[in-house]
Amino acid sequence: MDAIVKTDFNFPGQKERYVGKVRDVYNINDEYLVMVVTDRISAFDVVLPEGIPYKGQVLNQIAAKFLDATVDILPNWKLAVPDPMVTVGHRCEPFKVEMVIRGYLAGHAWREYQAGKRSLCGEVMPDGMVENQAFPAPIITPTTKAAEGHDEDISKDEIIAAGLVSREEYEALERYTRALFQRGTEIARQQGLILVDTKYEFGKKKGQIFLIDEIHTPDSSRYFHADGYAERLARGDKQRQLSKEFVREWLMANGFQGRAGERVPDMTPEIVQTITGRYIELYEKITGLPFAKAESNGVLARIEKNVTQFLDKRV
């Protein structure tokens, strides 16, 4: 299958298109969003030069599954999945922060900890911790939501002081974030996994808060295999991960962390195929379902047909 790295549709009622790092989002009459999850892949806030076949389908279908599994906690934006790579849902006004929640000292938090920091976004990280150790309780470490470039760490107090979110609404976002993370943790445990950290995005429509975007995917979350976790931690060994971290590690091993002057290493067909395989493995492990590859011929025409047929009933 050729990777889908660019779309340029003209759907019924379409007003504008927004191109993100991975998703192409179409505004339909300021009422609905058509989110096409492409096969683009990003790391260190940089879109890499090669697409990853089936990655978009993996992300879209995982997100849809977890949106359905958390709708009792709060409403979410999803209305339908008319195509394996597309979700259509409510257009909400997004909050200008991303709610990152961490149950374990890993990834960005660990890199900050190694650099000597013991506070992240106003949350204390106790002395004496080791990489991948569980925090005494999950910590919420929000980031700004950058249209371009890097998201930046920001504290609750800074968010409220800057007027990005009111105190009352921010505290609601915190409650939702903790409840969603707890649900994700429980579902992961059933699959023999540990949900290490993740991020949630929220928006408002007609005064109501909605969960938006993706949820509990390997692009937005980090998972460990539960089996052997404690033993690996005690030995100081790396954990067996299910996340996009393996892509970051490959980039770092080849001298790239998204800093000025650094060059993305060559992504050979073998590397691309390996990443595809890892994403399919992620899907099957996270959902407990076999991955069914969608029809690979004429993908763009398929998407256009499926979405248009759905919108014709709505617009």
pLDDT truncated to tens, each residue of the chain (315 aa)? 689 999 999 999 999 999 999 999 999 999 999 999 999 999 988 999 999 999 999 999 999 999 999 999 999 999 999 999 999 999 999 999 999 999 999 999 999 999 999 999 999 999 999 999 999 999 999 999 866 656 799 999 999 999 999 999 999 999 999 999 999 999 999 999 999 999 999 999 999 999 999 999 988 999 999 999 999 999 999 999 887 888 988 999 999 999 999 999 999 999 999 999 989 999 999 999 999 999 888 999 999 999 999 999 987
d(CA 219, CA 266): 21
d(CA 262, CA 252): 11
d(CA 227, CA 52): 29
Position 245 scores a pLDDT of: 80
pTM: 0.90
Tokens standing for residue 85 = 């790579």
Helix, strand and coil content of the chain, in percent to the nearest 5, comes to 30, 25, 40
* Structural domains in the chain plus CATH codes: 14-92+264-312 (3.30.200.20), 94-243 (3.30.470.20)
Position 150 scores a pLDDT of: 66
- 83, 110 contact by CB (below 8 A): no
Position 198 scores a pLDDT of: 97
Residues in the chain: 315
